[in-house]
Amino acid sequence: MFISKKHLSRRTMLRGLGTAVALPLLDSMIPASTALAQTAAVPKMPRLGCIYIPHGATMAYWTPTTTGKNFEFTPILKPLEGYRNQLNIISGLANAPVGPESGEDSGGAQNHERAAAAFLTAAHPVSGDRAFVGQSFDQVVAEHLGQDTPMPSVELSIEPAGNVCGDTNFTCSYRSSLSWKTPTLALPMENNPQLVFERLFGDGTTDEERRERRRVSASLLDSIREDVASLNMKLPQADRVRLSDYLEEVREIERRVALVDAKLSAESLEVPDAPRGIPNGFENHINLMFDLQVLAFKSDITRISTLMMAGEGSNTRYPGSGIAEGFHNASHHSNEQKNKDQFAVLNTYHIGVLKGFFDRLAATEDGDGSLLDHSLIMYGSSMSDANEHNYDPLPILLVGGANGLIEGGRHLEFAPHTPLGNLYLGLLDKFGIHRDSFGDSTGRLEV
């Protein structure tokens, strides 16, 4: 792994006239100290949101005891009872790529290193100083359906990348991103709402300033050329290669700048002033991120988003839950019932926070329904019982009307050890994308 006493800020952007272009996740971005708007017509395909929570759940309080439509809500999922008709609980899935392969060290704590990267790829993250995992589900959808929007996708997090780097036998990219454009190229996840806003709507504090900057904007490639050359001088060879690959995306962004202007020039869309920095407190922070996702979906700047609610191994404390124990510590319950109960309270708290996102989507009109009617939101983890560092069975939810493509109100229980990749293969079909395999899939699930 490349380690330097100096590091490139993960928030570094290639800046041109009126434009800020986000960079892919580079090894140079990981500090050395951490390395040891309503549209005229609703889109035919639903918006896609993928939300990751580490450390699994207290599965006994997560999984309903009955399947089908008449299931009873469990204590953890109780906050979502009002969304029964747009909810599917998916049981029986496993994500074996989280674990070690033949010849690798045993699982245990090292499963944390692979869990986030394996969540949307259903592929095994290879150890060593170079990332190699697989293209992620969200990016497959973005590749096929994100070309008609100014941004193919947006990648968000609550914690900064430098806080989630672990074992040096693995590249920091594995813990730092859910989204993989290619098996070797992770997309950086931004935790600063202000910078997310600028990515979505352009530089400038007010809507008037942003419109003016877009109006006078010159060719994007021309305006960032000097910044690219200057940045390349600071990067190691591996990062220069990654940046070169990423500039293929820049060519597409030039075309998208015109699309942004067309979207945001609509008199019916009111874009608020940009937020300033990172809010204090988890709830304030994540609620603002939810607001940005809703605004991005509403304005049709993007139809695909990912959000990492916490980093794998995060020991964040959530005062709003009433639990004083840190998240990671609480997940390691030592098989004591009182500790399992305590972790279930944290699980329930996170579901309650998630409900706020669904409330926003449901309250936002979109054509003949709401954004929730026209979205598919997947929520889950790559671990089951974090005390055991296992990955079977997983806590997985699908929420939203998905443009009528998926029936709601069900607890679907599949055969034990069914690969998570089978779910992605079935969901890709729903998005009109047919593949013979995805990750470690052995077939496709009908949901």
CATH of residue 166: 3.40.720
Domain membership of residue 444 (yes or no) is no
For residues 35 and 19, give the distance between their C-alpha atoms in angstroms, rounded to a whole number.
31
User: What 3-state class would DSSP assign to 75?
Assistant: coil
Beta strands in 269-382 (DSSP E): 304-308, 365-366, 369-370, 375-380
- Contacts with 123 (C-beta within 8 Å, 6 or more apart), sequence order: 97, 133, 134, 183, 421, 439, 440
**Domain that includes residue 355, residue range:** 37-204+280-430
Domain membership of residue 54 (yes or no) is yes
Amino acid at 137: F
Domain membership of residue 16 (yes or no) is no
Domain membership of residue 275 (yes or no) is no
pLDDT at 391: 96
147-205 residue pLDDT tens: 888 899 999 999 987 555 555 578 888 988 999 999 999 999 999 887 888 788 766 56
pLDDT at 199: 81
Domain membership of residue 22 (yes or no) is no
Domain membership of residue 212 (yes or no) is no
Reported pTM: 0.82
* Spans of the chain, pLDDT less than 50: 1-5, 33-40, 217-218, 249, 253-254, 256-257, 267
Q: Looking at the DSSP assignment, which residues form a beta bridge with residue 180?
A: 186
| Domain count for the chain | 1
pLDDT at 267: 47
Domain membership of residue 378 (yes or no) is yes
pLDDT at 232: 82
pLDDT at 95: 97
For residues 224 and 416, give the distance between their C-alpha atoms in angstroms, rounded to a whole number.
51
Domain membership of residue 93 (yes or no) is yes
CA nearest neighbour of 308 among 188, 133, 214: 188
